[in-house]
Structure 1
Amino acid sequence: MSRRAVTLTVASVLVLVLALAGSLMPVPYVVLMPGPTSNTLGSNDKGEPLIKIDGRPTYPDQGHLNFTTVTYRGGPGGRIDLITALRGWLESEVAVVPEETVFPKNESPEQVDQENTRQMRDSQESAEAAALNELKIPISTQVLVDSVQKGKPADGKIRPGDEVLAVDGTKTGTVSQVTELVAKRKPGDRVTVTVRRDGKEEKIDLTTAAIPDDKGGQRPMVGIVLGDRYKFPFKIDISVGDIGGPSAGLMFSLAIVDKLTPGALTGGKFIAGTGTITPEGRVGPIGGIQQKLIAARRAGATVFLTPKDNCADAMSARPDGLRLVRADTLHGAVESINALNGAKGTIPSCEGS
């Protein structure tokens, strides 16, 4: 065998060995891919209405208001190999991101799933509140205890699920009100928290403690984590299965507005979109915008509602045939859709955002 043939043989073997090693070498990256989309005006996987409203007249709708999702491969429980990561970097429809982008350090995959589920639940409630605020339908709030910190003043006295009604006799209706009233005390001061538990009101006396790591040692705490919960005048059920995260908020709100108002908001168009929503109707940015655009266009969407802070990335990844409409607020998104259907008004674009 000639020296040239030997060299080629050795080189081929080395390439094969390296390829084999690469295919087996796990790397701390995650591949993001276009996920399924769901029409908020349609049905879920069980054939039930994705959004169901009881106790209030609803109106027929048509067309699509799809929320979009991102799926992934990899993670601490099953890392991708080097070859898969390299292939992903070359594909335009996927993104390869560091593992901690999806799985923060010191959090298990189970904890990430739990957090995503919590975010979806909160997103649905915020979407309901935003829609009713947009329609000027009165709603009220209540302050519930989400958790109690071990070893803190409230431990063993206040329970998760308690509704906080007052602090030192002053009625409270929001988390910020409770926080402000407690903040008026000093560590070591007595504070009385009135709660509703199992339908009964109780007054609970606590002694405030200093917030850990507070250099001045003057900021008080009682050791409870609170959440605002809304009391709606009728029932709204949103059923999306095991999908998590907060990014469908805008589309949920639009669907609720559509169902509660005469006429089809979409005018029969296939509209998709994404964005978090606050109870006041502000739209926030999300992750995976490129993959969501691809998923929407594949499903048939011709219009995509895009949070302002995602516009730059969306413009660089916009598929042919998909119009990007900037959505800053729920009210603005409703007006933009009306304008798409011939009503007066401007249609904000992502260009120049």
Structure 2
Amino acid sequence: MSRRGATLVAASVLILVLALVGSIMPVPYVALMPGPTTNTLGTNEKGEPLIKIEGRQTYPGSGHLNFTTVTYRGGPGSRIDLFSALKGWIDGDIAIVPEETIFPKNESRKDVDEQNTRQMRDSQESAEAAALHEMGIKVDTQVTVDSAQKGLPADGKLQPGDEIIAVDGTKMTTVAQVTESMSKRKPGDSVEVTVKRGGKDQKIPLTTVASTDGKKRAVVGVLLSDQYKFPFKIDISVGDIGGPSAGLMFSLAIIDKLTPGPLTAGKFIAGTGTITANGVVGPIGGIQQKMIAARRAGATIFLTPKDNCADAKAARPDGLRLVKTDTLKTALAAINAINSGKGDVPAC
């Protein structure tokens, strides 16, 4: 065999070996892809209204207020191969991100799924509170213990389900108030927490310790959550979808259902964004894939969190108008301005 022929054979063998290795070599990356979009004004997988409201007059809507999702492939136990990662880097619809972006170190896939479920639950409650707050409907709050961290002062003293009534005699109704109160204390300080447990108030003395996050904060080792007491029942059912990024769209849909006339004027509006109980819209991940999913579904308007605007503008699909949102109030104003043709519509 000639030298040239031998070189070609060797090169072919090398390419084949590299191809085989690339097809089986797992890499610590995750592929993010456009996921399903769901109309919050429509029905869920069971054919029931995605948002049901009982105890208050509701009104029919029209059009779309879609929340968007991202699906992923890869992660611990099912890593993508090298070739899939390379293909994703080339494909404009797919984002290849480090595995830790989705699965933080020392957290299993189950841990991440459970966290996403909690985030969806919390986002729904925040969305309900934000919608009613925007409409001027009073919502009472209370602080509830989710869990106590083992080995820290609250362990064995504060229990899941305890309602925090007061800290050192000062009434508490939100987690933010508890956090502010604790920020004034130093490690080693004593603190008396009043809780309601089993219908009875109990005063529980605790001694704070230093946090382990390097910030030298005084902590007792308890995870708290705000619980809302709504004046009527709102039920949001989205199946096994997780994460907090549908909050804004839930709030808009609730307001649409509780007010006469369709908010969308029949338009196909999609969007994303976390939301707080006082209506502040926060950034999310996977903005590019969510825009693609929205446009494929037929959306022409996309409500975009202010802090995602730079990335969204750089990857905006043709035919999709980006509307910058920082609060529920500005999102409502923008939609009304689009429908009426009057007023400013903030753009990314």
How many angstroms does 1:315 deviate by? 1.3
How many angstroms does 1:199 deviate by? 2.3
TM-score, normalised to structure 2's length?
0.94
Structure 1 residues 98 and 152: CA distance shift in structure 2, 3 A = closer
Q: Equivalent residue for 2:266? A: 268
- Tell me if the contact between 1:186 and 1:208 (Cα under 8 Å) persists in the aligned partners: no
Q: Which of the numbers 280, 283, 286 marks the counterpart of 1:285? A: 283
Q: Equivalent residue for 1:228? A: 226
TM-score, normalised to structure 1's length?
0.93
Structure 1 residues 108 and 133: CA distance shift in structure 2, 3 A = same
Q: Equivalent residue for 2:326? A: 328
1:337 aligns with 2:343: no
How many angstroms does 1:72 deviate by? 0.8
Farther off after superposition, 219-228 or 143-152: 219-228
Amino acid at match of 2:299: A
- Tell me if the contact between 1:188 and 1:207 (Cα under 8 Å) persists in the aligned partners: no
Amino acid at match of 1:166: A
Structure 1 residues 153 and 39: CA distance shift in structure 2, 3 A = same
Farther off after superposition, 296-305 or 193-202: 193-202
SS in 1 for 2:340: coil
Q: Equivalent residue for 2:58? A: 58
How many angstroms does 1:155 deviate by? 2.4
Q: Equivalent residue for 2:305? A: 307
Q: Equivalent residue for 2:152? A: 152
How many angstroms does 1:7 deviate by? 2.0
Structure 1 residues 108 and 314: CA distance shift in structure 2, 3 A = same
- Tell me if the contact between 1:30 and 1:79 (Cα under 8 Å) persists in the aligned partners: yes
CA distance in 2 between partners of 1:113 and 1:216 (Å): 29
For structure 2, the 5+ residue unaligned runs are none
How many angstroms does 1:158 deviate by? 1.9
CA distance in 2 between partners of 1:344 and 1:117 (Å): 40
How many angstroms does 1:2 deviate by? 3.2
Q: Equivalent residue for 2:201? A: 201
Structure 1 residues 180 and 90: CA distance shift in structure 2, 3 A = closer
Q: Equivalent residue for 2:209? A: 210
CA distance in 2 between partners of 1:320 and 1:31 (Å): 23
CA distance in 2 between partners of 1:79 and 1:47 (Å): 35
CA distance in 2 between partners of 1:152 and 1:8 (Å): 67
CA distance in 1 between partners of 2:186 and 2:259 (Å): 50
Q: Deviations over 1:192-220 (max 9, x none)?
A: 3221122232233x141332459998x64
1:105 aligns with 2:105: yes
Amino acid at match of 1:304: F
Q: Deviations over 1:164-219 (max 9, x none)?
A: 11233332212233344456666555543221122232233x141332459998x6
CA distance in 2 between partners of 1:191 and 1:104 (Å): 33
SS in 1 for 2:252: helix
How many angstroms does 1:222 deviate by? 3.3
- Tell me if the contact between 2:191 and 2:208 (Cα under 8 Å) persists in the aligned partners: no
Amino acid at match of 2:331: A
SS in 2 for 1:338: helix
Q: Equivalent residue for 1:20? A: 20
SS in 2 for 1:341: helix
SS in 1 for 2:156: coil
Q: Equivalent residue for 2:120? A: 120
Q: How many residues are paired up?
A: 348
Alignment of 1:65-214 (within 5 A): 65-182=65-182, 190-204=190-204, 206-212=205-211
CA distance in 2 between partners of 1:259 and 1:137 (Å): 14
CA distance in 1 between partners of 2:274 and 2:74 (Å): 25
CA distance in 1 between partners of 2:196 and 2:86 (Å): 56
Q: Which of the numbers 268, 280, 294 marks the counterpart of 1:296? A: 294
SS in 2 for 1:267: coil
- Tell me if the contact between 1:210 and 1:220 (Cα under 8 Å) persists in the aligned partners: yes
Amino acid at match of 1:267: A
CA distance in 2 between partners of 1:176 and 1:284 (Å): 17
Indicate the percent of aligned positions where both proteins have the same amino acid.
Answer: 73
- Tell me if the contact between 1:271 and 1:302 (Cα under 8 Å) persists in the aligned partners: yes
CA distance in 2 between partners of 1:21 and 1:154 (Å): 52
Structure 1 residues 228 and 96: CA distance shift in structure 2, 3 A = same
For structure 1, the 5+ residue unaligned runs are none
Q: Deviations over 1:55-107 (max 9, x none)?
A: 11110001000000001111112011111111111111111111111111121
Structure 1 residues 179 and 273: CA distance shift in structure 2, 3 A = closer
